[in-house]
């Protein structure tokens, strides 16, 4: 039985993440989706909300589990018995950061390798921050996220004041 960990922020989950999850679930016996609780980027959704939105999105995938974590990714990978860390690659700039993380993680845990899946054409430029920015400006995000995520975005944005909305900005594709 081979388990892989797909770690990320998922603020919120997009169809680009789900594409990687579906393809990863077909490659490994078990895929654990790890929701990092406190990343250095500012978040729109709480950890509980991010986990809940993901769980609903992967409900049909029987070998996928969603868990939150708040420790080093390689330590969490060891805790769940993962032999691989799964990541998605979009643009060339992803490669630089992902390769640095993969090399660092392998030096910390040589028994765990990083497996990167290439983006699917439809989702090449899709990121959580693009979805948030579009939703903030009233754009239609229905082709970018599952329906329950589009609704959660609308509800969340409705509850924000102008100052809080101002904080939602595309800093980079990685956000
Ligand atoms: P992180 O903060 O760890 O980058 P994200 O939630 O932004 O968390 O992304 C998690 C993983 O999903 C990363 O490996 C990222 O490159 C990948 N990913 C995000 N969007 C896409 C996409 N549209 N296509 C392929 N991979 C993606």
Q: What is the pLDDT of residues 131-171, one digit of tens each?
A: 999 999 999 999 999 999 999 999 999 877 777 777 776 55
pTM value is 0.93
pLDDT band (50, 70, 90) for residue 8:
very high
- How many Å apart are CA 23 and CA 108, to the nearest integer? 26
Catalytic pick among 50, 87, 127, 128: 128
pLDDT for the residue numbered 25: 98
pLDDT for the residue numbered 173: 53
pLDDT for the residue numbered 110: 97
What structural domains and CATH numbers belong to the chain? 3-124 (3.40.50.620)
- How many Å apart are CA 126 and CA 67, to the nearest integer? 23
Check if 41 is active-site. Answer: yes
- How many Å apart are CA 146 and CA 143, to the nearest integer? 8
Tokens of 85: 């860390």
Is 90 touching ligand 1 by the criterion CB < 6 Å?
yes
Is residue 83 within 8 A of residue 4, CB to CB? The reply is: yes
Higher pLDDT, 162 or 89: 89
Best residue among 77, 87, 114, 124 to mutate for probing ligand 1's pocket (most ligand atoms within 8 Å of CB) is 87
pLDDT for the residue numbered 132: 95
- How many Å apart are CA 95 and CA 110, to the nearest integer? 20
Check if 67 is active-site. Answer: no
pLDDT for the residue numbered 134: 94
- Predicted confidence (pLDDT) per residue in 15-44, tens digit: 999 999 999 999 999 999 999 998 888 899
Check if 148 is active-site. Answer: no
Indicate if the pLDDT at residue 112 is higher than 80: yes
pLDDT averaged over the chain? 93
* HSE of 11, CA atoms in CB hemisphere, 13 A: 22
CB atoms within 10 A of CB 57: 25
Is 17 touching ligand 1 by the criterion CB < 6 Å?
yes
- How many Å apart are CA 100 and CA 89, to the nearest integer? 13
């Amino acid at each position: 039985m081979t388990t892989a960990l797909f770690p990320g922020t998922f603020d919120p989950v997009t169809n680009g993440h789900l594409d990687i999850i579906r393809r990863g679930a077909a490659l490994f016996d078990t895929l654990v989706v790890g929701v990092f609780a406190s990343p250095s980027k500012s978040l729109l959704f709480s950890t509980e909300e991010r986990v809940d939105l993901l769980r609903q999105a992967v409900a049909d995938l029987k070998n996928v589990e969603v868990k939150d974590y708040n420790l080093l990714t390689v330590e969490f990978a060891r805790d769940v018995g993962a032999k691989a860390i799964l990541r998605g690659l979009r643009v060339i700039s992803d490669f630089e950061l992902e390769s640095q993380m993969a090399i660092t993680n392998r030096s910390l845990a040589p028994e765990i390798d990083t497996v990167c899946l290439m983006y699917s054409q439809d989702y090449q430029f899709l990121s959580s921050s693009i979805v948030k920015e579009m939703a903030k400006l009233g754009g239609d995000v229905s082709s970018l996220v599952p329906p329950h995520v589009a609704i959660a975005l609308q509800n969340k944005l409705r509850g924000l004041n102008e100052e809080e909305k101002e904080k939602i900005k595309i800093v980079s594709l990685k956000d």
